Structure formats: C-alpha cells, structure tokens
C-alpha cells in the first residue's frame, strides 16, 4: 500500500478530483480527512471510504475562511494524530467568469478567495502540522491554463491558477530542507461536473477538445493517480513542479486532425 500509515487532508473532496483522490488514497492505506463546503457530498465520500474498510472523517471547510482552514488541520491532528499529505484541491469555475471586460469584480474576488487564497490558507495552517509530523507532501491543484491561455475566456480562473503555480514554486523552495515537498498538479480539460457546467454547450466543448491531441476529456480518476504519486514516497525527489496531466494539450502547436 503506497500510503500506509499516512494521514491525508483533501479539500473539495465531495466531488470530482477530490472525491476520486480520497477514495484512492484510502485504498492505498491513508487515513483521509475529507474537507468540503457541501456537507452531503463530503459526508458521502467519508461514508464510502469507511464502508470499504478505510479510515475517514468529514469536516466542513470553506477554504476561503481562515477559521475553517485552521480547523480542518486541527481535525486531522486530533482525529489521526498527525498530517502527512495536504491536497489543496478545492476550487470553483464560475459560469459568469469571462473576459476582462465583462467579468464582474465580485466574480473575480470570489474566484480568487477560493482558488488562490484557499491554497494559501491551507498551506498557512498545514505546513506547521507537516513539520510536526517530520515533513510531508503538499499538492496544489493548478491547471493547464496556468501555462496556456484558455480558448474559452475565464479570466479569473486562469489568473487564480497561475497564482497557485507561482505560490507552489516559492513554497517548494522555502520548505525544501524541512522535508516538505510542494507540487502543483496541472490537469487538462476533464469530464468533471465543474468543467462540464462551464462548457455548457457542445460548441464550447468542441472548442476545448480540438486542442487536446488525445481528442477526449480526462477523467477525475486519472488525476487522482497523479496525486497518489506526488503524495507517496515514490516522488521523494520531486518538488516545485508543474505536474501536467493534460492529454498533451500543452505540447500541441497545431490542431490535430
């Protein structure tokens, strides 16, 4: 088991990447702290883990709030005694997020609060816990749009994920000699509820897919396996990376036939 005796905290674990990762981490031996703002979804993930014989606890956490972020780390340590893996995964892609001219300030602020400040808060309170455990792994969900402009405008989301990537690099450098690794996981377009709700017409879906050499959307579980590698000791010399799992989209120059 690749995560035996490890404790992992995953935000946004009620759906999509977070849920698939929580289930996979538990299968690989980790005790999982399931954090989400949607209680029913988060509780279901925790219940499913326990029903399969794993260890899990659910905690309500709005990652844009400092008290919630501090509390989820405290729950991890109080329940399981330590924290070894922090997966800052929670994020939004608002339907009204568009270009710089039309996107409202409120949409920008909301996106930054969850996608960027939420990662900062996770690290602010998670890093001391990782130090107490003797080190560990931090995984921050960024995106391929942290490296490329999106064909469908989503200015706040793109800017927030660029910030996550930049923050990840700095954290990796600062904490490298404390046995804390920090990596940005950069998914390509996925068949998740988050993206499918944003690409809500067939035209929008095809506009995104035409750039993906593999010609399909990725699945959340494919990202979960990448997170598993970054969480495990197998990636012990990996830090500060932009870990791309994107179907080749960042490698493409011309549209494939």
* pLDDT of 87: 99
Taking a C-beta distance cutoff of 8 angstroms, is the pair 105, 158 a contact?
A: no
* pLDDT of 253: 77
The ranges assigned to domains in the chain are 7-243
Specify burial of residue 28 (Cβ count, 10 A radius: 0-12, 13-18, 19+).
middle
Q: What are the DSSP calls for the chain, one per residue? A: -TTTT-EEEEETTTSHHHHHHHHHHHHTT-EEEEEESSHHHHHHHHHHHHHTT-EEEEEE--TTSHHHHHHHHHHHHHHHS---EEEE------TT---TTTS-HHHHHHHHIIIIIHHHHHHHHHHHHHHHTT-EEEEEE--GGGTS--SS--HHHHHHHHHHHHHHHHHHHHHGGGTEEEEEEEE-SB-SHHHHHHS-SHHHHHHHHTT-TT-S-B-HHHHHHHHHHHHSGGGTT--S-EEEESTTGGG-SS---
* pLDDT of 71: 98
Taking a C-beta distance cutoff of 8 angstroms, is the pair 130, 13 a contact?
A: no
Q: Rounded to the nearest 5°, which phi and psi values hold at 88?
A: -80, 90
CATH hierarchy code of domain 7-243: 3.40.50.720
Dihedral of alpha carbons 189, 191, 194, 196, sign = positive
User: What pTM was computed for the model?
Assistant: 0.95
pLDDT digits (tens, 9 = 90+) for 204-223: 888 778 889 999 999 999 99
Q: Which residues of the chain have pLDDT under 70?
A: 254-257
In the set 157, 229, 237, 253, the catalytic residue is 157
Annotation marks residue 253 as catalytic: no
| CA gap 248, 148 in Å, rounded | 12
| CA gap 83, 131 in Å, rounded | 9
* pLDDT of 250: 93
């Amino acid at each position: 088991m690749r995560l035996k005796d490890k404790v992992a905290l995953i935000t946004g674990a009620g759906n999509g990447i977070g849920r698939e990762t929580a289930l996979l981490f538990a299968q690989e031996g980790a005790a999982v702290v399931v954090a989400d703002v949607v209680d029913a979804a988060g509780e279901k993930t925790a219940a499913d883990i326990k029903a399969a014989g794993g260890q899990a606890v659910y905690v309500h956490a709005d990652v844009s709030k400092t008290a919630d972020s501090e509390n989820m780390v405290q729950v991890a340590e109080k329940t399981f005694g330590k924290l070894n893996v922090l997966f800052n995964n929670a994020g939004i892609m608002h339907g009204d997020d568009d270009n710089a001219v039309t996107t409202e300030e409120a949409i920008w602020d909301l996106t930054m609060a969850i996608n960027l400040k939420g990662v900062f808060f996770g690290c602010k309170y998670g890093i001391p816990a990782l130090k107490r455990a003797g080190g560990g792994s931090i995984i921050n969900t960024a995106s391929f749009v942290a490296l490329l402009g999106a064909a469908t405008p989503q200015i706040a989301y793109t800017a927030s994920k660029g910030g996550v990537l930049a923050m990840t690099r700095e954290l990796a450098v600062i904490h490298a000699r404390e046995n804390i690794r920090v990596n940005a996981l950069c998914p390509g377009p996925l068949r998740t509820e988050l993206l499918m709700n944003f690409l809500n017409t067939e035209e929008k879906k095809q506009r995104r897919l035409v750039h993906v050499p593999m010609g399909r959307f990725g699945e959340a579980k494919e990202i979960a396996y990448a997170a598993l590698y970054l969480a495990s000791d197998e990636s012990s010399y990996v830090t500060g990376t932009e870990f791309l799992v994107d179907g080749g989209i960042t490698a493409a120059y011309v549209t494939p036939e």
